[in-house]
Structure 1
């Protein structure tokens, strides 16, 4: 990975009964790391992390950054400290050995367990998010199923999931001001809506439908559906039939980032969508940069 660059692999999942959710993000050149930013972003592999967020009963959130001596990568494995992400033939396995970090609480709880993701469809096409191709998005598995077996906290559930990756040759805040993203399953298909404003002021917006084989097709972009601001007054929006969607649960509410589950209708079908909004001007502000180390510790 080139200096200044980044890569991440992202999973989100919902339990069949909708009581539980999770996101897992494996970072190399961690885009939200205050340490990587302060270092001048010269060594991406010296700033790696596994972000694990469990939502619902027994919620947890962990993101400890590791130096390059604690990171190992090959074709099938990314080891970040004691945790690892590995391909095993027909599935991706995430072995989690982390501790959570909570503001104002000095002790850290163990977060341990295994998550297995089984792709139902695979997509081989990546898309550039900017004209220069500095930022690439690849929806690897628009549809997947997941099995979650946690020992700390004690949780066991299964459900539907999604897997993608992003790679870039510059920081996110150099390329973008804001973006909004959402994904939903449609029968045996899936849809992803992506939109935002680049740093040069140009906008972008698209909707992709992935058929039952995983092949992407450009689709008519649904109407803008405004969503209520978060407690941090983050502006968020999505796309939906008739321009209407409702927030079921706000999973993440941070000064520069929000992730939510939504109820909406897309292409005539009622769906539960996962949605995120990101404000990179907020992220780059001195106040947020001062706050981040309390949420994202580094282990050298």
Structure 2
């Protein structure tokens, strides 16, 4: 999020693009044949990119990941993302560089289910970000976050619903991960990180529901009993997924962060896949003249 709260960006690098209809239709047997750099910018002139690419587009090394014309690199102190993608449905180009510099890197790994089939790895809960895109008005600085999710099964095999939130605090950041698993059990994780990367459990406030957006995805987050959490800026609203800037109050501190809700009961419906195909074009071979 930008320091002034008017802009934001999310970037997800996928090997096995979990929300790709093409990956699902393929039987999810070859994750490297469904790689993707999903970039979404929020604010005036915001754009969406999510191109599903084949294995020829993917190159990996210890410090670099290339996905088609875009690439990510780690130099030991900062993550740099060079973006060169085509937007959907506008068809324009989104180019530029984003640099994320962690205040510290954690050693935290959290299993999301009992057999460890899904793992959450919050590498840098507290970070600084510089965005330098070619689009007019899209050079800004702010605070950011870097994590990863790993899994050996499809999300909808193990989860019905989850919410996640990252909220900057005076001491660092708080992250909440709450989920309802398909077996009826629940995940309720609340972790505070300081600027050195030290993690400690939070006496988490209650879970409070707040108003749904257009597609009606259920939204809830942690909040003190005397505070009603609420959206302060919409980001992404889809039939099964919502992302927004949300304000809440955690142990007496009012904070604004990024919140996500994921309804996997909706996502597993077959009718959802053709809708997603419109926003997620498939480009199997690389290189090509098109992106």
Report the TM range for the smaller structure's normalisation.
over 0.9
Asked if 1:272 is matched to 2:256, the reply is: yes
2:244 counterpart residue number: 260
| Structure 1 runs not aligned, ≥5 long | 1-13
1:117 counterpart residue number: 100
Q: Deviation digits for residues 196-248 of structure 1, max 9, x if unmatched?
A: 11111211112101123112111112111211111011111110111521110
2:155 counterpart residue number: 172
2:289 counterpart residue number: none
User: 1:23-172 alignment to 2 at 5 Å?
Assistant: 23-102=10-89, 108-172=91-155
The structure where strand makes up a greater share of residues is 1
Asked if 1:182 is matched to 2:151, the reply is: no
Asked if 1:282 is matched to 2:266, the reply is: yes
Deviant stretches of 4+, over 2 Å: none
The separation in 1 between residues aligned to 2:108 and 2:235, in whole angstroms, is 29
Alpha-carbon offset, residue 157 of structure 1: 0.2
Which of 205, 213, 217 is the aligned partner of 1:234? 217
RMSD of aligned Cα (Å): 1.1
Calculate the TM-score normalised by the size of structure 1. 0.92
| Structure 2 runs not aligned, ≥5 long | 285-291
SS across alignment from 1:281: helix
The separation in 1 between residues aligned to 2:183 and 2:161, in whole angstroms, is 12
Query: How many correspondences in the alignment?
Result: 283
Calculate the TM-score normalised by the size of structure 2. 0.95
1:211 counterpart residue number: 194
1:223 counterpart residue number: 206
The separation in 1 between residues aligned to 2:155 and 2:209, in whole angstroms, is 24
Alpha-carbon offset, residue 89 of structure 1: 3.0
Q: Deviation digits for residues 46-92 of structure 1, max 9, x if unmatched?
A: 00000000000110111001100110111111100000011123210
SS across alignment from 1:255: coil
Q: Deviation digits for residues 153-179 of structure 1, max 9, x if unmatched?
A: 551000000110000011111111100
